[in-house]
Structures are given as C-alpha cells and as structure tokens.
Amino acid sequence: MVGSFCLVMGQLNPVVGDVSGNVKKIIDAAQHARDVLNADLVVFSELTLTGYPPEDLLHRPGLMRRVELGLEKLKREVQGVAILIGHPAGKVREDLYNAASVIVDGQCLVTYFKQYLPNYSVFDEERYFVKGHIPGVFKYKGLQFGITICEDTWFTGPTSQAADHGAEIILNLNASPYRQGKCQLRELEVTQRVREVGIPIVYVNQVGGQDELVFDGGSFVISGEGKKVARAPAWQEGLYPLNVVREHDGKLHVSGDVTAKESDLEMVYRGLVLGLRDYIEKNHFPSVVIGLSGGIDSAMTLALAVDAVGADRVKTVMMPSKYTAQISLDDAAEMAVRLGVAHSVIPIDSLFEQFNTSLAAHFIGLPVDTTEENIQARCRGVLLMALSNKTGAMVLSTGNKSEMAVGYSTLYGDMAGGYSPLKDVYKTLVYRLATYRNSLSEVIPTRIITRPPSAELAEQQLDQDSLPAYEVLDSLLEQYVAEDLCFEDMVALGGDPELIARVIRMVDRNEYKRRQAPPGIRITDRAFGRDRRYPITSGYTINSKME
C-alpha cells in the first residue's frame, strides 16, 4: 500500500451572480482544507464561481469578465493545495461552455467541458452552452483523475471515456437540485457508472436555495466495488475529507465518513427551511410577516419561518372577520406564544363593510357570492402588504399546491406575498409535515392539525364544501399534473368521471392565477412554474377531441 492522498469534497452554498463572494468562499474553504485537513485536492461543485443556475446572467459579457478575474485571483491566492472548480468558459452567445478547471499553485492543469447538457424539467442548459467532447484527465501527486460534470454521469460515454484515457478515479461536479426521491436515483445512477468502469466516483453536490430550487448537498463516494464509502450530510455546507490510498494490487481505495440518511419527511422539511432561509438571506430581507389564520397552512408556514431565520425576525398578524371562529383566534395566539413571535390582531370587519358600502350601488340585484369572500381575502392582503412596505418585512404567502392547482385562492388576497414556502407541497403532505415538526417539539397546537380545514370566509364554511376530500384531490392532481394523464386515462384507473372532469377543469382554468403566484420551493418532480409550463390561453380541454 502506497501513502495516502487527502481529497476533500467542498460542499458549498454559493450565491448566483456573486462571483467575488463565491471566490472568497472558495479561497477560505481551500485554505481551511489545506491548513486543518491537510488536503491535497479540494473538489467543488458545478459552476462554483457563478452559482447555479445563473440563467440569463450568462448572456452578459460583464459576468464573464468577473469570472476571468475570479479565476486569476484563485491562481494567485490559493497556494499549497489543488482545487477543482466549476465555471463558465468561452465566449458569450457563441462558444460558451459549462467547464471545470484544476488550479494548482497559480497554474491551470486542465479545463474540462461538460458533454451532456440537460434541457428538460428545470434545466435549459442548451440555451446557454455548447457541448464539449474531449475527456478531462489529469495527473496529480501520482494519481490519475478524470473529470465529469453533473449530467455527464447519467450517461455511459464521459465516464468510460475518462477511464479509457487512464483515469483511476472520477471527480463529478454537480448542481443537482432536490426533489423527493432524487437522492436514491443519484446513487443508483453513479453506481451503474462504477460497474461499467470499475473505478471510484466522487460525487460533489452544491447545497443551498436559489429562487425556487433548493440543493441538498449529500455529496457521496461510490467505491470501485460499487459500495457507498462516504456521504456528506444533506442540507449542510462544509468540507468533507476522503482518504485515498493505492493498494498493493494497484487500485485506489477511498474511504470517508458515511452520514446516515435522513427520513423522507426530514428531507422535505429541512429542504423547505433551507430554501426559505436562503431566499430571505440572499435577498437581504430583514424579516418576514405572516397572516396567521389558525389554520394548518399558516401554522406550517410559521414553523418553517421560525426554523429558518429565528423568532425575532418573524411577525404574525391575525385578521379576523365576523366569520372567524374563536378557536382560530385562540389557536393562532397559542402558536405565536409557543414559537415566541410578535403577534398582533387587526380586525377587517370595518374594512369589509366599507368595501361593501362603496360597491353597493354597483351590486344591486346581484346575489352574494364568492365576490364578497374574495373582498375579505383582499382586505387581508392589503394590510399585509402595507406592513411589508412600511417595515421592509417580506410577506410570506401560505397557500399549498393543492389549492394552487385548482385555484382555491384569491389573487391579490391570500396569494399576496413575496415567497410561498408551501407552493409545491400538497395539502396531505402539509399535514404529515406538521406531525413531523411536532415530533421535534410541539409548536403546532393539536387542534390546528385535527380540525377540518376552512377558509372562514362565510358562515360554517369548510374546504370540503368546495373541493373533494384532500386525499382524493391530491391523488387526482398527481395523475393530471405530475403524470400528465388525460381524462380517459384517469377514468380507466377507476376514478369517478364527473369528479375527474371537474378537477381537470379547475386546474386548466386557473393557469392565469398560477402565473401570478409568488415563487416557492420546488420539492417534487413537477412543480408549477419551471417544471410545468402550460399556456394560459388554450383550446385544449377535455371536450376538445378530434371529430
């Protein structure tokens, strides 16, 4: 056995577009890895310098000038340890590549260009980059390394190409956003690549929130024998060392700490917390304000907000009307006390009556309907946005995915806000997350979880008066929204045709609302927005079949 080599997985949380800040973070991490961990090589994530995804910032020549200056600064200031970093390279709108470079003591040993550019789901790399073709292999301190970038490892070619050119270990840089089930898929795919080439693969992933995407980290290593021999924790920025040694048979053996996997609910909850925290922090909001109704969605949003930025930066406002139950007032106040947040009450009855008085002449002869319900929601939206304008606190919208899907929400009312943490969370999952959060410490009063949900905009109103039971609704939404099943397919699965048609119509006719909704954290493989892009104006309905 030959002497060991210290390879460090640099699982960082970059800020998109902040090249100078990201360069400083890389320098600090590299120096710490060198001085404390005795690192030989630190591997960072995909597009480390710009953060991921930089989107149309990549069309700005000014960004590339900053990247070039950043690379020069890294060459000057990182000494005594090698680094592998991701960055764009080339000419804007011409030959721009998603690249990775090895820098050692002021020199660039090799630059590799990503070969497979994802252009599906939330990815649109073909909009910005051209494909590379040449393997990235370099020798350092007696070891032969191969480089691949993210999507490359989902295909046989780049990994096999690097191995054929002498690579003994593959370093795979990633910016792979979280969604439910993604961790297992990554490990399965990387293990398949290992089986094909018989050498270890080090998978280094970005961590942190970026608008609607959240990156879970969870960097890992699959040995040449197909075993997971190291795993960094999810949702945690840090440096994670690996020991690489050459055995007597000439093969490289990699070892490191293997962090236990988190449960599915823990992964979702922590992802929502991190996504919310980074949106608040990276956009420099001093605090947030939440309309606390005594219902499950606002309760869950409050728990996430406090876990994200602390109780001292969260304010809640209860805005009751004559339809608000006393238990809603009590439960909202109780939860605010449990979490230690500032809480106030601003009744909306006088505002609601003033609107009704002002509109009375225009509503003569027309029955009371959802218009009056929406006016109440918009009174609350105006109050929350006024508090936001005056104090700088960002309003958190509290709607969930089930409501957003079928339009059970009010534009400029409960949809008002700068961010929507539950935007991609079905109602049934909201309940499960509430139970999970209470298993850590009981912050949500039990009655909020167990009582039937209600918007409380009319007498004795319950959600089930307007919607199917959420267990049924969420199942149908999964089929129609996530799986793209059509009416006939859904009926064939045994569903009620009338109910299915009703749900489909609600989803289709509310696309205009979703276009105006605030951003929120993506946790599924078919979130509204970047994942699911449907026209607002469309003649494609369940009744528009070919004659």
CA distance 502 to 474: 14
Q: What is the pLDDT of residues 369-378, one digit of tens each?
A: 989 999 999 9
Do residue 238 and residue 285 come from a single domain?
Answer: no
**Stretch 363-370: mean pLDDT:** 92
Out of 228, 243, 262, pick the residue that ends a domain: 262
Out of 463, 493, 527, pick the residue that ends a domain: 463
Q: Is the pLDDT of residue 3 over 90?
A: no
Q: Please give the pLDDT value at position 462.
A: 67
With a CB cutoff of 8 Å and minimum separation 6, the contacts of 168 are 143, 144, 145, 199, 251, 252
Contact of 5 with 168, CB cutoff 8 Å: no
Out of 262, 288, 320, pick the residue that ends a domain: 262
Q: Clarify whether 46 is annotated catalytic.
A: yes
Residue 506 lies in a domain: no
Provide the domain count of the chain.
Answer: 2
Residue 397 lies in a domain: yes
Q: Clarify whether 77 is annotated catalytic.
A: no
Do residue 319 and residue 294 come from a single domain?
Answer: yes
Q: Is the pLDDT of residue 365 over 90?
A: yes
State whether residue 388 is helix, strand or coil.
helix
Q: Please give the pLDDT value at position 457.
A: 65
- Candidates 25, 150, 379, 403; catalytic one: 150
Do residue 233 and residue 366 come from a single domain?
Answer: no
Do residue 335 and residue 442 come from a single domain?
Answer: yes
Q: What is the pLDDT of residues 128-150, one digit of tens each?
A: 999 999 999 999 999 999 999 99
Residue 171's domain comprises: 2-262
- Residue 374 is part of a domain; what is its CATH number? 3.40.50.620
239: which strand partners? 10
Contact of 453 with 428, CB cutoff 8 Å: no
**Stretch 312-320: mean pLDDT:** 96
Strands (E), 105-219: 107-113, 136-140, 143-149, 169-174, 201-205, 207-210, 213-216
**pTM attached to this predicted model:** 0.93
Residue 498 lies in a domain: no
DSSP run (H or E) holding 396: strand 394-396
Q: Please give the pLDDT value at position 456.
A: 61
- Candidates 25, 114, 282, 427; catalytic one: 114
Residue 96 lies in a domain: yes
Report which of 5, 98, 38 is spatially closest to residue 239, judged by C-alpha positions. 38
Residue 481 lies in a domain: no
The residue assigned the tokens 């490990």 is: 187
Q: Is the pLDDT of residue 396 over 60?
A: yes
Residue 404 lies in a domain: yes
- Candidates 6, 24, 25, 46; catalytic one: 46
Least trusted range by pLDDT, from 330-334, 472-476, 535-539 = 535-539
Residue 97 lies in a domain: yes
State the pairing for strand pair 136-140/201-205: unpaired
- Indicate the pLDDT class of residue 289, thresholds 50, 70 and 90: very high
Q: Please give the pLDDT value at position 1.
A: 44
As a whole number, the mean pLDDT across the chain is: 93
- CA 499 vs CA 314, 465, 476, 477, 490: distances in Å: 40, 14, 9, 12, 11
DSSP run (H or E) holding 85: strand 82-90
Do residue 200 and residue 318 come from a single domain?
Answer: no
Do residue 290 and residue 303 come from a single domain?
Answer: yes
The residue assigned the tokens 């809480």 is: 343
Do residue 8 and residue 144 come from a single domain?
Answer: yes
Residue 489 lies in a domain: no
State the pairing for strand pair 228-231/220-222: antiparallel
Do residue 235 and residue 274 come from a single domain?
Answer: no
- Indicate the pLDDT class of residue 451, thresholds 50, 70 and 90: confident
Do residue 279 and residue 178 come from a single domain?
Answer: no
Do residue 255 and residue 277 come from a single domain?
Answer: no
Q: What is the pLDDT of residues 424-440, one digit of tens each?
A: 999 999 999 999 999 99
Do residue 244 and residue 274 come from a single domain?
Answer: no
Q: Clarify whether 379 is annotated catalytic.
A: no
Do residue 15 and residue 162 come from a single domain?
Answer: yes
